[in-house]
Each structure stands twice: as structure tokens, then as C-alpha cells.
Amino acid sequence: MKHLKIGIATDHGAFLHKEALKAHLTFQGYDVVDFGCFDESSVDYPDTIYPCALAVASQEVDAGIIFCGTGIGASIVANKVKGIRCALIHNQWLAQVTKEHNNSNMIAMGGRVVDIPLALECADIWLKTSFSFDERHQKRIDKVSALED
């Protein structure tokens, strides 16, 4: 089985979440590429999130998990990159359904919205869930992709 390479990024609003996720994913055998930030000093989320989204879009990494204080800014930035389908999630059901229905290649969470144990659980669910390959969902994904052209 291929070892997935996961890009992670945050701003200062969820630095501790990113660090916990990095340790958690590494322990599980994932290859983790950390796009920052690297301490709790204030940083603008586009500076860390955008490079991570570019890496997902170019397939330098297989998937991305990103954070900021709310997750909103992070998801907006990621979705500016062609080919990215980043879902803002805050519970286990959303983690599952965004992969099954939207085949999301990134998820965003808010460090001020979800606690660390929930963030780790959501990441696990999302990474272990597969796209449904349901024709109706694929048709919708294709329509979204066509909007980028």
C-alpha cells in the first residue's frame, strides 16, 4: 500500500492543532509535509495555506489538512487554487460526507472551533473514507471543475 503524503498548514490560530496532527499522522505512518507556521507568532494564513494548496493541486502531496482560527480563511484561500476541493468541516459526519460526495482533496478546520481530539478524529475519518464513485456525485464534481476553466 502506498504511503500517503499529507500536506499540513496553519496560521498562529491553530499552531498547536497542526503540531498535534503532525505527530498523530507521522505515528500512523503517513509522510507529512509541514508548510508552517512553525511557532505561535502571528502569521497571515495565505502565506502558509496557499503553498500547501499548490502542493495538493500539483500532486506533490496526496491531500491537505489546513487550519486557521476559524477554518474559514484557510478554506477560502485553498479554494482559490485550480483543482482544489477544500471543505470546511467541524464534525465527524462532515469529514466523512465531504470525501464520499465531493471527493475533497483538502479539509480545513478552525483551531478556535474544534478541539485537538476532535480535529484528529475528523482527519482520521476523512483520510480513511473513500469517494463513493456515485454517478450523481461525479457529475456534480465535473460541473464544479468545469467552472475553473
Looking at the annotation, which residues are catalytic?
68, 101
Whole-angstrom CA distances from 90 to 39, 71, 112, 133, 148 are 24, 9, 11, 24, 26
Beta strand spans in the chain (E): 5-9, 31-34, 63-68, 86-88, 106-110
Look up residue 120 and give its amino acid.
L
Q: Which residues have a Cβ under 8 Å from the Cβ of 94 and sit 6 or more positions away? A: 87, 122
* Residue partners of 141: CB distance under 8 A and separation at least 6: 85, 102, 103
Q: State how far Cα 73 lies from the chain centre.
A: 13
